[in-house]
Amino acid sequence: MLGESSFRASASIHSPSREVYMTVFAPWLLHDFAPGEGERQQAHTPALDTESWLPVAVPGDVHRTLVAAGRLPEPFYDRNEPEADWIQEREWWYRTILTGPHDALAPDERLRLVFDGVDTYATYYLNGEVLGESRNMFREHDFDVTDSLRPGPNTLAVRLDPPLQHVELAQVPAWDPEIIKPKVAMRKAQFGYGWDWGPVLPTFGLWRGVELRRERAARLTGVQFATVSLNAAHTFAVVTASAEVERFATDAPLSAEFTLTLPSGEAMTRQLTLEAGQTAGEVSFELRDPALWWTRDLGTPALHGLEVRLLLDDQPLDQLSQKVGVRTLHLDQSPDADEPGTRFFRFVLNGLPIFARGANWIPADSFVGTLTRERYEPLIRLAQQGHMNMLRVWGGGVYEHDAFYDLCDELGLLVWQDFMFACAPYPETDELAREVRAEAEYQVRRLRSHASLALWCGNNENQWIQEMRYLTRATGDLYYAKILPEVVAALDGQVPYWPGSPYGGNDHNSMLDGDRHNWDVWHGQRPIVRQFGDPIGLDRTLEGVSYRNYAVDLGRFISEFGMHAAPALRTLRRVIPEGELYHHSPSMDHHNKDNPKNKGDALMEGTTGLPGDLAEYLLFSQVAQAEGLKFGIEHYRRRMPHCSGALIWQLNDCWPVLSWSVIDSDNVPKAGYWFARRAFAPLLASVKTLEDGGAEVWLTSERREEVRDTLTVRLMDVAGQTLWTRDVDAGISHGQSHSVLRLEAGELQADGGHYLRLESRGGHFEASTHFFVEIKDLRLPQTLPTLEARAQPDGSLSLSVTASQYSYLVHFTSDEVIGFSDNFFDLEAGQSRTITATHPDRALRPEDVELKMFQARQPQPQP
Residue 653: what pLDDT? 99
Last residue of a domain, one of 645, 680, 715: 680
Pairwise pLDDT comparison (173 vs 61), residue with the higher score: 61
Distance, first Cα to last Cα, the chain: 67
CA 528/CA 516 separation, integer angstroms: 11
CA 779/CA 735 separation, integer angstroms: 38
Whether 336 and 319 map to the same domain: the answer is no
Mean confidence (pLDDT) of the chain: 94
Inter-residue contact 326 to 334 (CB < 8 Å): no
Last residue of a domain, one of 156, 188, 213: 213
Pairwise pLDDT comparison (609 vs 540), residue with the higher score: 609
Contacts of 841 (CB under 8 A, 6+ apart): none
Query: Which has the minimum average pLDDT: 38-47, 136-145, 164-173?
Result: 164-173
CA 181/CA 775 separation, integer angstroms: 43
At residue 419, φ and ψ (nearest 5 deg) are -75, 155
Whether 208 and 227 map to the same domain: the answer is no
pLDDT at 503 over 90: yes
Contacts of 850 (CB under 8 A, 6+ apart): 812, 813, 814
Residue 507: what pLDDT? 87
Pairwise pLDDT comparison (719 vs 23), residue with the higher score: 719
Whether 314 and 339 map to the same domain: the answer is no
Residue 174: what pLDDT? 67
Whether 278 and 416 map to the same domain: the answer is no
Any idea what the CATH number is for the domain that residue 520 is in?
3.20.20.80
Q: Is residue 701 part of a domain?
A: no
At residue 618, φ and ψ (nearest 5 deg) are -60, -45
Whether 338 and 390 map to the same domain: the answer is yes
H or E stretch covering 228: strand 218-230
Reply yes or no on whether 178 is catalytic: no
Bridge partners of 834, per DSSP, are 800
In this structure, are strands 152-160 and 91-100 parallel, antiparallel, or unpaired?
A: antiparallel
Mean pLDDT across 732-738:
96
Any idea what the CATH number is for the domain that residue 106 is in?
2.60.120.260
pLDDT in tens, 816-826: 889 999 999 99
pLDDT in tens, 346-400: 999 999 999 999 999 999 999 999 999 999 999 999 999 999 999 999 999 999 9
SS3 content of the chain, % helix, strand, coil (to 5): 20, 35, 45
pLDDT at 11 over 80: no
Inter-residue contact 423 to 462 (CB < 8 Å): yes
Any idea what the CATH number is for the domain that residue 294 is in?
2.60.40.10
Whether 232 and 340 map to the same domain: the answer is no
Whether 547 and 674 map to the same domain: the answer is yes
Confidence of residue 177 (pLDDT cuts 50, 70, 90): low
pLDDT at 473 over 90: no
Last residue of a domain, one of 213, 244, 273: 213
In sequence order, what E strands does 702-802 have?
710-717, 722-729, 737-743, 754-760, 768-771, 786-791, 797-802
Residue 462: what pLDDT? 94
pLDDT in tens, 212-254: 999 999 999 999 999 999 999 999 999 999 999 999 999 999 9
pLDDT in tens, 655-693: 999 999 999 999 999 999 999 999 999 999 999 999 999
Whether 284 and 360 map to the same domain: the answer is no
Confidence of residue 471 (pLDDT cuts 50, 70, 90): low
DSSP letters, 369-414, are GG--HHHHHHHHHHHHHTT--EEEE-TTS-PPPHHHHHHHHHHT-E
Residue 305: what pLDDT? 98
Whether 492 and 578 map to the same domain: the answer is yes
Q: Pick the catalytic residue from 439, 461, 634, 702.
A: 461
Query: Which has the minimum average pLDDT: 9-23, 288-302, 674-688?
Result: 9-23
Whether 293 and 371 map to the same domain: the answer is no
Whether 86 and 11 map to the same domain: the answer is yes
Buried b / exposed e over 357-368, threshold 16 CB at 10 Å, is: bbbbbbbbbbbb
Mean pLDDT across 408-433:
97
At residue 813, φ and ψ (nearest 5 deg) are -125, 165
pLDDT at 10 over 60: no
Residue 178: what pLDDT? 62
Q: Is residue 787 part of a domain?
A: yes
Confidence of residue 15 (pLDDT cuts 50, 70, 90): very low
Rg (Cα) of the chain, in Å, rounded? 28
Pairwise pLDDT comparison (176 vs 66), residue with the higher score: 66
- Burial (Cβ within 10 Å: 0-12, 13-18, ≥19) of residue 598: middle
Residue 13: what pLDDT? 33
Confidence of residue 486 (pLDDT cuts 50, 70, 90): very high
Confidence of residue 538 (pLDDT cuts 50, 70, 90): confident
Mean pLDDT across 609-617:
96
Q: Is residue 617 part of a domain?
A: yes
CA 859/CA 856 separation, integer angstroms: 9
Contacts of 78 (CB under 8 A, 6+ apart): 575, 576, 577, 580, 587, 590
pLDDT in tens, 774-826: 999 999 988 999 999 999 999 999 999 999 999 999 999 999 889 999 999 99
Inter-residue contact 673 to 633 (CB < 8 Å): no
Distances (CA, A) of 754 to 102, 685, 757: 82, 19, 10
pLDDT at 492 over 60: yes
Confidence of residue 1 (pLDDT cuts 50, 70, 90): very low
pLDDT at 858 over 60: no
Whether 143 and 249 map to the same domain: the answer is no
Which residue range(s) make up the domain with 473?
Answer: 329-680
Residue 857: what pLDDT? 59
Inter-residue contact 43 to 33 (CB < 8 Å): yes
Q: Is residue 771 part of a domain?
A: no
DSSP three-state, residue 797: strand
CA nearest 725: which of 757, 769, 754? 757
CA nearest 45: which of 172, 151, 154, 149? 154
Mean pLDDT across 440-447:
98
Three-state secondary structure string covering 312-345: ECCEEEEEEEEEECCCCEEEECCECCCCCCCECC
Residue 529: what pLDDT? 76
Mean pLDDT across 67-93:
98
Domain count for the chain, please give it: 4
Bridge partners of 354, per DSSP, are none
Inter-residue contact 504 to 516 (CB < 8 Å): no
